[in-house]
A and B are shown apart, each in its own frame.
Chain A
Amino acid sequence: MHSFGYRLNGLLTFAVTILALMCAITSLSDNFNTPSPSAEIKIININWFQKQPQGHDEVSLMMNVSADLQSLFTWNTKQVFIFVAAEYGTPKNSLNQVSLWDAIIPAKENAKFWIHTSNKYRFVDQGNNLRGKKFNLTMHWHVMPKTGKMFADKIVLTGYSLPEEYR
């Protein structure tokens, strides 16, 4: 500690080390949060349901997505990324997950919402398996922190099905 530069270096190094420790403890504090999210998805309408030129089935739907994800937010949350995926099985693939819609929720106030939308991303099958297909819609979320560990979870909503014939 014999010179100005030596003391400055020591102070800055120690300060940054303690900062790293503070960030670690902050991330650990997220584990004390017990979230209680809820979500509901209604399929309002099937816009069209066709077999594409390449031979794959494709469907376009109109959904009403409503959710209350406010309990996911902590003081260490930067944003929450959510997406809705359709899940079903086929003879070729035991599990298909097709992402239909996603959004970024930047703050707790925006986390209680409803949205009336058609699917943002195309619902295409690897084959022709969608006629009369029963599927689940899952709401996934990724809680992205300001510092530390990201938490991800989902809600599975069952009981959806597609029409028997193309429209």
Chain B
Amino acid sequence: MDWQGQKLVEQIMQIMLLVFAVIAFVAGYVLGSFRMMMIVYAGGVALTALITVPNWPLFNRHPLNWLDPSEAEKHPKPQVAVSSKKERHQKVNVVLAAE
């Protein structure tokens, strides 16, 4: 999910949960049923989860523009010193991204 997708998803999640809470309370109060309030709210939470949690493609419409591998080749990784007994691995994560 890209940055804009994440922001959108957070907004959708907060608004949907609040709206469902209000709908659930009103439904429960008018019907005089506590159970109804809980059912409506649980349904709302499930629906919100379905919309906002999985990594839907529509939230990835502004994907991050990672640089080509050729750019990384111009900047080689540092050499690792190899000892006779053990090989110590040095992992260097070089991450280049353009906004």
List residues of A whose CB falls within 8 A of some B CB.
1-2, 4, 7-8, 10-11, 14-15, 18-19, 21-22, 25-26, 29, 75-76, 146-147
**Majority secondary structure, A binding face:** helix
8 A–B contact pairs at CB < 8 A?
A: A1-B9, A4-B53, A11-B45, A11-B52, A18-B18, A18-B21, A75-B33, A75-B34
- A-contacting residues, B1-32, CB 8 Å: 1, 6-7, 9-10, 13-14, 17-18, 21, 24-25, 28-29, 31-32
User: In the complex, what distance in Å separates the CA atom of A7 from the CA atom of B32?
Assistant: 34
Looking at A10, A11, A146, the one whose CB has the most chain B CB atoms below 10 A away is A11
Q: How far is the CB of B13 from chain A (nearest CB, A)?
A: 5
Kindly name the residue among B17, B33, B53, B54 whose own CB sees the greatest number of chain A CB atoms within 10 A. Answer: B53
Query: How many cross-chain pairs have Cβ atoms below 8 Å apart between A and B?
Result: 57
Do A14 and B17 touch (CB < 8 A)?
yes
Question: How big is the B interface, by class?
Answer: 20 to 34
CB distance from B88 to the nearest CB of A (A): 31
Shortest CB-to-CB span from B24 to chain A, Å, is: 7
Contact of B25 with A22 in the complex, beta carbons under 8 Å: yes
A sample of 8 more A-B contacts (CB under 8 A), given A10-B13, A26-B37, A75-B34, is A1-B1, A1-B6, A2-B1, A7-B53, A15-B48, A18-B18, A26-B25, A26-B28
Interface string of B46-58 (1 = CB under 8 A from A): 0011001111000
Chain B residues near A15 (CB-CB < 8 A): 17, 45, 48
- CB <8 Å contact, B29 and A7: no
Complex Cα distance, B20 from A96, in Å, reads: 52
Could you tell me the distance between the alpha carbons of A83 and B49 in the complex, rounded to whole angstroms? 47
A22 touches B29 (CB 8 A): no
Distance in angstroms between the alpha carbons of A11 and B25 in the assembled complex: 19
CB within 8 A of A11: which of B18, B34, B48? B48
Q: Which residue of B lies closest to A77 (CB)?
A: B34
A14 to B13, CA, bound (A): 9
Indicate if the CB atoms of B34 and A26 lie closer than 8 Å: yes
In the complex the two chains form, what is the Cα distance from A22 to B9 in whole Å?
23
**Cβ of B29 to closest chain A Cβ, rounded Å:** 7
Whether B53 and A11, one on each chain, are in contact in the complex, defined by CB atoms closer than 8 angstroms, is: yes
Chain B residues near A8 (CB-CB < 8 A): 49, 53
Q: Which of A4, A10, A11, A22 contacts B21 (CB 8 A)?
A: A22
Shortest B7–chain A CB gap in Å is: 8
